[in-house]
Amino acid sequence: MATNIGSLGTEREAVDMEFEYFGETIRVHPEASDLRVVDMMMRIGDLDMDDPAAASEIMSGLAEQLLLQIHPEDATKFWEIAKKNRQQMRDIMAVSKSITEAVAGFPTGQSSDSAPTPQNESPTSGRGSLSRRERRALARLQRSRGATVTALTQLRGRPDLQTAVVNAAKARDSRAG
């Protein structure tokens, strides 16, 4: 007979947050959760990085993940404001990171006591939060995995997501090899 370990889980109220975006108020999705990022990472892990369309799929997944953080009634307004203000994926990712941190109640990036990575720093520079082993794996990927490199370049400034892409590629390689 199985041993019951009790009632688990944490009851949470719907998210009630908003932010200013180029002078407009945008509401956060009431069901926003940092688990949306996990869903996206699992989806990336299932991609065939040898397929040139994988980079496009990753970018679509990132955009979709962000829009799932925005209140459905504000999503179109948010996207139109972003385009009108010539936002780039890096800018959108900064919004996503801020929402994820606020909803989760903790920062996902570098701690405040460490120096920030310069924006023009390449993901293989040896700075940032990738370990030496991950940097070596990334160097191998740069030689052989164009879609992965493209994704890592687009995720510059997000070492947490870069690490997830590297880990997804490693998992794919271990399944293939």
Annotated domain spans of the chain: 18-106+124-176
Model pLDDT for residues 62-107, shown as the tens digit of each residue: 778 888 899 999 999 999 999 999 999 889 888 988 998 898 886 6
Average pLDDT over residues 131-156: 64
Residues 100/15, Cβ–Cβ less than 8 Å: no
